[in-house]
Amino acid sequence: MGGSAEPPAGAPEGAPGGGEDEYGSVVFDESFVRAARLQEFSAQERMGDHTRAVRRIPVLHRGLSRQAALLVVLIALAFGTAIFMGIRHPYQGPGPKRSESLRMTVIPLAPQGRVPGSAKVAELYAHSPAGRLRAGAGGIEVPDAHRTAHFSDSQVTAALTTAKDYLVASSLDPATLTGGSPRSVRMLLDPQQFGQFDQSFTRPAADGRHAPTGWLVRFDPTRTALADQQVRVRGTLRLAETDRDTLEVSADHTFVYALRPLGTGGAKASLFTVRRELHFRFDRDDLRTHRAELAASTTQAGPLTCAADSANQLRPLLAGERAKAGGPAGTDPYATGRATALCGSLAAAAQPSL
Chain centroid to Cα 53, Å, comes to 73
Helix (H) or strand (E) holding 197: helix 194-202
Q: How far is CA 183 from CA 56, 112, 153, 209, 321, in A?
A: 73, 37, 29, 19, 33
Beta-bridge mates of residue 257: 272
CA dihedral of residues 160, 283, 254, 114 (deg, nearest 10): 160
DSSP for 12-68? Answer: PTTPPSSS--TTTTT---HHHHHH-SEEEPPHHHHTSTT--SEEEPPPP-HHHHHHH
Q: What is the pLDDT of residues 32-86, one digit of tens each?
A: 556 555 556 566 666 665 555 555 655 545 555 677 777 777 788 877 777 666 5
Helix, strand, or coil (residue 257): strand
- Taking only the tens place, the pLDDT of each residue in 154-166 is 999 999 999 999 9
pLDDT at 112: 86
Question: Rounded to whole angstroms, how far apart are CA atoms 180 and 162?
Answer: 21
**Helix/strand/coil (H/E/C) assignment for every residue in 199-231:** HHHHCCECCCCECHHHHCCCECCCCEEECCCCC
Low-confidence ranges of the chain (pLDDT < 50): 1, 60, 88-95
Q: How far apart are CA 265 and CA 268, in angstroms?
A: 8
The gap from C-alpha 202 to its chain's centroid, in whole angstroms, comes to: 23
Q: What whole-number distance in Å separates Cα of residue 214 and Cα of residue 275?
A: 12
Yes or no: say if 158 and 307 are a contact pair by the CB < 8 Å rule.
no
| The pLDDT value given to residue 303 | 95
Averaged pLDDT score across all residues of the chain: 83
Identify the pLDDT of residue 30: 62
110: burial class by Cβ within 10 Å (0-12, 13-18, 19+)? buried
For the purposes of burial, counting CB atoms within 10 Å of the CB of 104, is it exposed (0-12), middle (13-18) or buried (19 or more)?
Answer: buried
Q: Which of 179, 185, 186 shows the shortest CA–CA distance to 226? A: 179
Query: Can you say whether the dihedral through the CA atoms of 305, 308, 312, 315 is positive or negative?
Result: negative
Return the pLDDT at 354.
76
Cα–Cα distance between 260 and 242 in angstroms, integer? 43
How deeply is 135 buried, as exposed, middle or buried, from its count of CB atoms within 10 A (0-12, 13-18, 19+)? Answer: middle
pLDDT attached to residue 115: 96
Bond into 108 cis (ω within 30): no
Q: What residues contact 141, with CB distance under 8 A and at least 6 apart? A: 236, 237
What is the CB-side half-sphere exposure of residue 97 using CA atoms within 13 A?
14
d(CA 104, CA 93): 31
Quote the pLDDT of residue 71: 78
CA-CA distance, 303 to 317, in Å (whole number)? 6
Torsion of CA 326, 277, 353, 322, to 10 degrees: -30
Quick one: DSSP state of residue 132?
G
Q: Three-state DSSP class for 272? A: strand
